[in-house]
Amino acid sequence: MKELIEHIAKSLVTQPDQVEVVETVKDNRTVNLELHTAKEDMGKVIGKQGRIAKAMRTVLKAAATTEGKKANLDIV
């Protein structure tokens, strides 16, 4: 799941080398992902009215469901 979010974010931003995804596992079923980007690219990742961020969260939750897990995405 980390690689999925990393791939999506790198394709959106102008500085893909600044993209970093930190994965923390709370328990066996819950995964928390933190997405870090350059400040200039933050708007591109969030999108107008948060539409891109919402879409990324939807894709992440669908991928997590197929693995029988729950996932959260925080954009920092």
- At 21-72, the pLDDT tens digits run 999 998 889 999 999 999 999 999 999 999 999 999 999 999 999 999 999 9
Average pLDDT over residues 7-19: 96
Residue 23's domain comprises 2-75
Q: Global pTM?
A: 0.90
pLDDT recorded at residue 64:
94
d(CA 11, CA 19): 10
d(CA 12, CA 34): 16
**Residue 56: closest CA among 2, 14, 15, 16:** 2
CATH number, position 39:
3.30.300.20
Residue type for position 60: L
pLDDT recorded at residue 28:
86
With 90 as the cut, is the pLDDT of residue 17 above it? yes
The number of domains in the chain is 1
| pLDDT: which is higher, 20 or 26 | 20
